[in-house]
Structure 1
Amino acid sequence: MCCVDTGKESVKEMAPLKALEAEYPILDPNFQAFCASHGIFSVEDFLIHDLYELAAFAEQQPTSEKLKQGITQVLSIIDTQHQPWLNGMELLDDALYNKHVLSTGCEGIDLLLGGGLREGQLTELVGPSSCGKTQVCLLAASNVATKHMGNVVYLDTGNSFSPQRIAQFVGHIAGRAFDEAGKRIFQRIMNGIVCHSVFDIFTMFNVLHRLVINFPSQLQKGGQVRMLIVDSISSLITPILGNSGSQGRALMISAGYMLKKLAHEHNVAVLASSKAAKFSI
């Protein structure tokens, strides 16, 4: 099992707009600074902003034409990311043949979910503190790594990831004696669960952006990634913004968009825990 503690980076560094500048020169530093002044740091951020209002602000700037061209370019990028229209039969075939169900390891939760966590979809686990959300996340990670032979990416935001608990779950699920063959299997399963420790919301966005960009080339080198777990999202937002404010909701929408994008484009089951329904994705 690998645990990576990701250092804090600035908001601008974690945003992909700068990375797009080489391919789209119109998204130059001036455009990036204009966007940053309105709280826009990524392509995804455009989805939760009033673009008419943004265009109106652009009109007031000396470089209004270039700024409007930049806005148009970002909208074009968003359009290219949209999936093609699918008819009902195509959606049914996709659900039957591509969207497998992964058991969480908890029979009651699997029953409520219609069998378990579905690949290609985001499932949110909401509940108050100390109700067992982390235990469900750890159990799901152990079960997928053991029974479904898949790799798991685990984003730990509260320093609650427990390799000892994972080992207990894996040992119980595998039900094997720890002979030489059993030890090799146990080691392979444990190595398939990769944990990133993220302790602020912007570092989490940075990690998610890197997953979106590098998922095919980096995460699948050691085997197929079947599940992404975020435990939990709300714990990163509540200390900064308290229990109110539209900013918190905007951050959750942005995080939800990125998680759904990962789930859909890479056919991964995503499980995210949250402490309060008001912060749900």
Structure 2
Amino acid sequence: MIRLKVPLLPNETIICKLFSRNIFTVFDFLQKPSVDLQEICNMSCKDVSKLKDALIVSCSVFINGYSLYKNKPINNLIKTGILELDELLNGGLHLGTIYEFCGPSSCGKTILCYNIIANYIYFHSSKQIIYIDTKFKFSIKRLKEIIALKCLLPLNQENTILKKVIIYSISDVYNLFNCLHNLKPNPEDIIIIDSITVPYLSFVGSSKNEGLCYISHISSVLHHLTQKNVTIIITNLAVKQSDYFNDEPTKTSTENNEFKPAIGKYWLHIPNTRLMLSCLPQNKISINISKSVYLPLNKNCNIKIYNGGIL
């Protein structure tokens, strides 16, 4: 703390009076009510207010948001292990952020999650990762193949790494609620939900807005977890947009916005960053940034899927 001295205050007499009342630092002075300072320093209310303002300006260190972002610690990023994706994400996955991998069925969302798991648990030996499987299709065999290719480990070490993946098989939305709430007291750095669409399907066609309540509840819990610097990765199904009033597809819907995330408009604003995935020839995936709070939109990259995952 900064101690009171003559350059900060008009003269030694005022400083001695303040010291006699146990006011030794700038913080002590600013915390003291102005009425009390008027009596101690024998100053008017206006002069006391001006003095407080002057102390705040001279003793405070002001920094703008860009400087904070530019000087953020490197450990605030989690590498995905996929060079093109890390470059697209400006270094990797940010802590305390909700990411959505959105795309049509079988476009590579789950394999992308497997690669992130393999890279993370290999380079963070003391950490665990939470994988919430709502499709009951988690493939330990596929994950082992990816770990073997990316990490080049013997079989016994592969099994040690796999023990760090905590898998929850969730059958409905209520079990998902319970699972996320149980993770709140002591969550891991990464939580993957594959996929958010499946629990929502039971509410499709409901006239009671139950689906909206479900999304609102999930959103609340997810944002609570991000406040603890948890990175959340969610896979979501993409559906084709349609024009109900025109038999011919519109240029906008087919060329610019052919696919949109499932589970309704309310969900559109929940993820901090949405990556739209689409299939390309020769086992390639195109990844496009369609929504983000810190990345340039419509920036994209292409990655290739091999038998052992994504290199």
TM-score bracket for the superposition, by shorter chain length = 0.5 to 0.7
**Superimposed CA distance per residue, residues 96-139 of structure 1 (whole angstroms, 9 cap, x where no aligned partner):** 23862212233333232222221111111111111111111122
Match of 1:248 in 2: 211
1:247, CA displacement in angstroms?
Answer: 3.4
Match of 1:131 in 2: 107
1:270, CA displacement in angstroms?
Answer: 1.0
Q: TM-score, normalised by structure 1?
A: 0.57
Q: CA RMSD in A?
A: 2.9
**Superimposed CA distance per residue, residues 227-268 of structure 1 (whole angstroms, 9 cap, x where no aligned partner):** 110001111102332499843233223212211211221x22
State whether structure 2 residue 121 is matched by structure 1 residue 145: yes
Query: What are the within-5 Å matches in structure 2 for residues 27-42 of structure 1?
Result: none
Structure 2 Cα separation of the partners of residues 255 and 91 of structure 1: 33
Distance 1:142 1:250, change over 3 A: same
Match of 2:193 in 1: 230
State whether structure 2 residue 67 is matched by structure 1 residue 104: no
Structure 2 Cα separation of the partners of residues 95 and 252 of structure 1: 35
Structure 1 Cα separation of the partners of residues 207 and 262 of structure 2: 9
Match of 1:160 in 2: 137
Q: TM-score, normalised by structure 2?
A: 0.52
Higher relative CO (CA 8 A, sep ≥ 6), structure 1 or 2? 1
Structure 2 Cα separation of the partners of residues 146 and 127 of structure 1: 27
Distance 1:108 1:250, change over 3 A: farther
Structure 2 contact 78–93 (Cα < 8 Å) conserved: yes
Distance 1:101 1:172, change over 3 A: same
Query: What are the within-5 Å matches in structure 2 for residues 55-204 of structure 1?
Result: 92=68, 96-97=72-73, 100-149=76-125, 150-178=127-155, 183=156, 185-204=157-176
1:262 aligns with one of 225, 231, 235: 225
Structure 2 contact 189–231 (Cα < 8 Å) conserved: yes
Structure 2 Cα separation of the partners of residues 244 and 124 of structure 1: 27
Q: Higher helix share goes to which structure?
A: 1
Q: SS at 1:104's partner residue?
A: coil
Distance 1:273 1:245, change over 3 A: farther
Q: Percent identity?
A: 27
Distance 1:245 1:134, change over 3 A: farther
Structure 1 contact 138–161 (Cα < 8 Å) conserved: no
Distance 1:124 1:88, change over 3 A: farther
Which letter maps to 1:163? I
Q: SS at 1:123's partner residue?
A: strand
Instruction: Point out where structure 1 has 5 or more consecutive residues left out of the alignment.
Output: 1-86, 220-224
Structure 1 Cα separation of the partners of residues 106 and 206 of structure 2: 18
Structure 1 Cα separation of the partners of residues 207 and 93 of structure 2: 30
Structure 1 contact 144–226 (Cα < 8 Å) conserved: no
Structure 1 contact 155–197 (Cα < 8 Å) conserved: yes
Instruction: Point out where structure 2 has 5 or more consecutive residues left out of the alignment.
Output: 1-62, 239-260, 271-311
Structure 2 Cα separation of the partners of residues 244 and 123 of structure 1: 30
**Superimposed CA distance per residue, residues 170-198 of structure 1 (whole angstroms, 9 cap, x where no aligned partner):** 111211344xxxx2x32331111000000
Which letter maps to 2:89? L
